[in-house]
């Protein structure tokens, strides 16, 4: 699919933007018509296959298909499941184009349409193009009947072949090389070469170089600053990129001599993206849009339309960071924080008690409370018991004629106490 946007400026009027969408599709007729009859993909029955009976291994369960001798009939309804309903009010027929649907088949092949379709014109004198005009509000179906195979259509020789590749190595810089070959041996081609590059692909315009080589002479090289008239670069339109806003627009008007090859090269720098700007498959690379080549009409007075050619798209590898590193850092940091926080939290909230203060391990809330109260009571009793005086020793004195009188409080004198202590030390009873 291609979308071409161009400006249309008439001589006396306002300029308008014209958008043209082109969709190229290749269909397998047999496979496209199969879902209408059998939606399950399976091999056709052997009865529906034309077998080559000259093969030695041909049998009831073995078949070698014969070469197709005629084209299979088809219709738009059988291929797409429904006909074309009406026409577009903005179709080309309103702008001077002869019709809406063009069918390119040999003139000898039978084609039929609905009553609303009309074969109104032929696009060229080759008599293989049939153009039909669609009805405004009715169905249009196109049926093509079978036709013997044997007539080969002559293919037009292309005027230009194009090849576009990346050059260089490394993650910082690279290069682009486009090889354009003029296949015409007599005509000089004038083309418009257009590249739309992403913003992270920044070309060095001073490295732009165009080299022309031919089989008859030595290669000639011309750069952007070449002031001679032999330069292959006739004109240039360049709009630099803005980071994360727009890409680079590079448009060149080139001239290629007959039977020559033009090699267009330039170097570019790869930008560094943020890690959030990478797609999930970052290691695959980034797609770069193909270059669009417009082949201008060979003669300025010719009324023929320009021919467009597109190169293949490219895959640009960019410097890719290690996306697993942030996760590794997060996991390691979280582990260290969890270990430190757990230790500090245990020291702050946990209370250490002796084993004798708790009756058992694994008690419930009530049992733990009882053990804690009992431990407190035992601790208080132990403190009170340590403050009591030691027990008094009982002493007796021997009967002596000289007995000292007791004092009024019933306490013996100091001599009596000393005598009693001496008897007690000798092990004698008083």
Which element (helix H / strand E) includes 94?
none
Does 147 have pLDDT greater than 60?
yes
Mean per-residue pLDDT, 407-426: 44
**pLDDT mean across residues, the chain:** 78
| pLDDT at position 261 over 90 | yes
Q: For the segment 169-200, what is each residue's pLDDT rounded down to a tens digit?
A: 888 899 999 999 999 888 889 999 999 999 99
Backbone angles phi, psi at 17, to 5 degrees: -95, 125
| Fold observed for domain 160-316 | Immunoglobulin-like (2.60.40)
Q: CA end-to-end span of the chain, whole Å?
A: 135
Query: If pLDDT is split at 50, 70 and 90, which confidence band does 426 have?
Result: very low
Instruction: Return the sign of the alpha-carbon dihedral for residues 35, 37, 39, 42.
Output: negative
The pLDDT value recorded for residue 38 is 74
**The pair of three-digit structure tokens given for residue 269, joined into one six-digit string:** 């720098």
The pLDDT of residue 170: 86
What is the number of alpha carbons within 13 Å of residue 52 lying toward its C-beta?
10
The confidence score (pLDDT) of residue 271 equals: 92
Q: Using pLDDT thresholds of 50, 70 and 90, give the confidence band for residue 386.
A: low
Q: Please give the Cα distance from 38 to 255 (Å, whole number).
A: 54
**Can you tell me the mean pLDDT for 340-350?**
87
Other CB atoms within 10 Å distance of the CB of residue 429:
8
Domain boundaries, the chain: 42-148, 160-316, 325-374
With a CB cutoff of 8 Å and minimum separation 6, the contacts of 401 are: none
Flag whether pLDDT at 396 surpasses 90. Answer: no
């Amino acid at each position: 699919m291609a979308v071409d946007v161009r400006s249309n400026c008439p001589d006396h009027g306002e300029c308008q933007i014209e958008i043209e969408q082109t969709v190229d599709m290749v269909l397998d007729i047999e496979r496209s018509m199969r879902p209408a009859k059998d939606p399950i993909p399976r091999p056709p029955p052997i009865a529906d296959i034309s077998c080559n009976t000259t093969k030695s291994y041909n049998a009831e369960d073995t078949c070698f298909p014969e070469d197709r001798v005629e084209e299979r009939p088809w219709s738009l309804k059988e291929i797409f499941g429904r006909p074309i309903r009406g026409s577009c009010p903005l179709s080309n027929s309103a702008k001077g184009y002869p019709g809406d649907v063009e069918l390119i088949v040999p003139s000898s092949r039978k084609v039929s349409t609905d009553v609303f379709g009309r074969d109104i014109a032929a696009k060229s004198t080759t008599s293989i193009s049939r153009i039909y005009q669609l009805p405004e509000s009715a169905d249009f179906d196109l049926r093509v009947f079978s036709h013997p195979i044997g007539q080969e259509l002559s293919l037009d020789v292309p005027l230009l072949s194009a090849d576009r590749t990346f050059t260089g190595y490394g993650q910082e810089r690279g290069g682009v090389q486009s090889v354009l070959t003029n296949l015409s041996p007599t005509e000089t081609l004038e083309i418009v070469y257009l590249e739309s590059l992403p913003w992270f692909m920044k070309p060095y315009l001073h490295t732009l170089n165009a080299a022309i080589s031919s089989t008859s002479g030595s290669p000639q090289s011309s750069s952007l600053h070449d002031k001679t008239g032999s330069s292959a670069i006739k004109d240039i339109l360049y709009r630099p990129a803005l980071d994360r806003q727009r890409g680079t627009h590079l448009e060149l008007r080139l001239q290629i001599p007959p039977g020559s090859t033009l090699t267009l090269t330039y170097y570019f720098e790869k930008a560094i993206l943020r890690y959030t700007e990478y797609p999930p498959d970052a290691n695959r690379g980034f797609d770069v849009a193909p270059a669009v080549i417009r082949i201008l009409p060979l003669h300025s007075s010719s009324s023929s339309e320009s021919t467009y050619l597109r190169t293949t798209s490219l895959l640009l590898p960019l410097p890719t960071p290690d996306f697993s590193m942030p996760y590794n850092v997060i996991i390691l940091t979280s582990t260290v924080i969890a270990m430190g926080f757990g230790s500090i939290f245990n020291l702050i909230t946990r209370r250490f008690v002796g084993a004798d203060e708790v009756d058992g391990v694994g008690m419930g809330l009530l049992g733990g409370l009882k053990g804690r109260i009992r431990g407190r009571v035992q601790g208080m009793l132990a403190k009170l018991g340590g403050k009591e005086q030691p027990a008094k020793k009982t002493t007796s004195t021997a009967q002596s004629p000289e007995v000292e009188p007791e004092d009024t409080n019933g306490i013996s004198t100091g001599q009596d106490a000393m005598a009693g202590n001496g008897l007690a030390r000798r092990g004698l009873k008083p």
